Chain A
Amino acid sequence: MIRLIEDCDPSAFEMLKLLYPHSGNAFIIGITGSPGVGKSTLIDALILEFRKLDIKVAVIAVDPTSPISGGAILGDRLHMQRHATDENVFIRSMASRGHTGGLSRATKDAAVVLDAMGYEIIIIETVGAGQGEFDIATLAHSTGIVNIPGTGDGIQAVKAGILETGDVFIVNKSDKPDTDELVHHLIMMINMRKSSKTDWTAKVLKTIARDGTGVKELAETFLSHFVFMKKNGLIDRKRKELEHLYFHSLLKDLTLEKLLLFMKGSKDCKKIEEKIQSREIDPLSAAELMVNNICVFKGND
């Protein structure tokens, strides 16, 4: 099923429609951070903690697709293989397939499937992310950002972007030097955020994923964030917000698909393309002209 979604098979769209009403129960945790900070190893340890509490866990791990060959090496899973034969753990690797932002186009749909299958917690691991890949915040109820000591000064912590979206900050490999300095910078950054009484104050935790140090506390923190959101009605608000984003991204995809299909068969479009090539018209006016020419968009003016 997830395979059909990834391959954009039309039957997947129909099946998703049927599954959708059964989704909406899972708690979705996003784990993001730079390459090599230990996201997969940390998730492996988190699965163990959640399993101790008898929670069914699914993981979607996204790795980048090669921009050159279109292929991919999906290597997150190998850090979690000890859970491969646990029937209450489902791990699925996905390639980003040209999608930027740290996720693949199919990630949201796959999460709907796993949610409907009854997995209580879905952990989504993004592509090793830089500063701008914060798509995960449009999908997860709780976002954990993994950092390691020794990767930058205080100003890194206050930049715009990914760090603004974190609910839980994890300082992994915390047996390395400069850990406390990083914890300090992160706390400072969190304290400077605009917040109100109903807001969750982001937590900073130290872990060593390799031996599991601090991971129990991390699992508890995620669960307490969930309880906090439930109590304040934030989870409903968050779900509504995420549904809105899902709808809009679908709208964008479907419209683009229709548009491209239309343009393929359109003589006008070919003419305009030729005019752009011969510099008779600039690409900006051409794009404007094309869009205005398509009647669907005129209806609501």
Chain B
Amino acid sequence: MKTKNKIRVLIAKPGLDGHDKGAKIVALALRDAGMEVIYSGLHQTLDQITQTAIQETVDVIGLSIMSGAHLPISEKLINMMKEQGLDDVNLTVGGVIPHQDIPKLKEMGVAEVFPGGTSFEDIITGINNLFE
């Protein structure tokens, strides 16, 4: 009884950032697109996020960052993911991301960047395209 493979996504809020309405709304949109979404809750350390991604065998980590620290956080997380052998997990970043930082993030190895204002449709297509 082979069921259609589901995309599992971890929506994570790293560090000192208390705004998670956006993260929750994106989680809902992904749910409505048929994905299984695990929400980490607020104030997660990168270690917690990495361990959660392992235990939950997710396909995608969606970091939600509003604090302006997206560059160092993403870089550190990518390194930790590599150390833990999470090579097949895609990292995506959303939140308050200035457009000039998008190429820097992609260069680091972030698969997709969804800055504030990206439509749900674009997020969903962006994630689905990672698996085509």
Contact = CB atoms under 8 A, between A and B. Distances in A.
Interface of A: 2-3, 6-10, 65-66, 68-75, 77-79, 81, 84-85, 90-93, 95, 97, 253, 256-257
Contacts of A85: 45, 47-48, 51
A66 to B, nearest CB: 6
Interface size class of B (residues with CB under 8 A): 20 to 34
A75 B3 CA distance: 23
Nearest to A4: B57
B55 A92 contact: yes
Interface-centre pick from A7, A79, A84 (highest chain B CB count, 10 A): A84
A95 to B, nearest CB: 5
Contact of B40 (A81, A256, A257): A81
Contacts of B56: 74, 77, 92-93
Interface stretch (B27-35, B62-70, B92-100, B107-115): B27-35
Given A3-B57, A84-B51, A257-B1, A69 B32 contact: yes
Nearest to B32: A69
Given A2-B57, A7-B6, A92-B55, A81 B41 contact: yes
B93 to A, nearest CB: 20
Interface-centre pick from B3, B5, B36, B37 (highest chain A CB count, 10 A): B36
B32 A74 contact: no
**DSSP class of A's interface residues: helix, strand, loop or mixed?**
mixed
B2 interface: yes
Interface string B1-32: 11101101000000000000000000110111
Contacts of A84: 44, 47-48, 51-52, 55
B1 A74 contact: no
A66 B37 CA distance: 11
B48 A91 contact: no
Contact of B48 (A71, A75, A81): A81
